[in-house]
Amino acid sequence: MTTSREFDGTGLEILTAEESRKLLASVPVGRLVFTLGGLPAVRLVNFLVDRDTIVIATGPGDKYRAAERGDVVAFEADDIDPDRHLGWTVTVIGHLSVVSPEDTARLQRALPLHPWAPDRDQHYVRLGIETSSGRRLLPWGLRPQTA
Distance CA 52, CA 6 (A): 23
What is the residue extent of each domain of the chain? Answer: 13-137
The class of domain 13-137 in CATH terms is: mainly beta
Distance CA 59, CA 62 (A): 9
Beta strands of 51-115 (E only): which ranges?
A: 53-58, 72-81, 86-98
Distance CA 42, CA 54 (A): 16
Supply the pLDDT for residue 1: 44
Task: Please name which of 77, 34, 30, 21 lies closest in space to residue 57, comparing C-alpha atoms.
Answer: 30
Supply the pLDDT for residue 140: 65
pLDDT, one tens digit for every residue, the chain (147 residues): 446 789 898 889 999 999 999 999 999 999 999 999 999 999 999 899 988 999 998 888 999 999 999 999 999 999 999 888 899 999 999 999 999 888 887 777 776 766 666 666 678 899 999 999 999 998 765 656 554
Supply the pLDDT for residue 85: 86
Q: What is each CA distance from 76 to 24, 27, 28, 30, in whole angstroms?
A: 9, 11, 12, 6
